Structures are given as C-alpha cells and as structure tokens.
Amino acid sequence: MHDTPTPSADAPTHIDMVRCAAAQLDLVLADDAVQRMAAQWARLQAMASMLTEEHLGIADEPAPVFTP
C-alpha cells in the first residue's frame, strides 16, 4: 500500500487550484462555483488515490475493445 503524502501548511488547496486554473483559462467564476469545483476535484483526487492503491495483476487486463 502506498503512503499518502501529508500536505504541508503552505500547499495549495483545491480552491487555490480552481482559481488558478480559472485564471489561466480567463474564466470568471462565482464563489459558489469555485466551491463546487473544488469539492469535485477533492472527490476526483480521492477516487484516483483509491485506484493507485489497488494492486492489479495480469488477470486484471482490461476487456477487449468492442468492435461491431
């Protein structure tokens, strides 16, 4: 199992990352939209962390691509 690093006190928050990304894309976001997006990023980060902790074996190959 991988250890999840503990963020430092000066690490950017999800809100900081949303505001930075919005600024890079010249998007004006209301505060409630920033909050919702930060919550979504937190959920995505949690899911990604769970996936990286899962050890996959050779039997866990993806299903073949459907070709009609």
pLDDT band at 19 (very low <50, low <70, confident <90, very high): very high
pLDDT digits (tens, 9 = 90+) for 26-52: 999 999 999 999 999 999 999 999 888
Which own/partner pairs from 44-47 qualify as long-range (CB within 8 Å, at least 24 positions apart)?
45/14
Reported confidence tier of residue 7, pLDDT bands at 50, 70, 90: low
Please say if the pLDDT value at position 11 is more than 80. Answer: no
Check residue 25 and give its pLDDT: 96
Res 56: pLDDT: 78
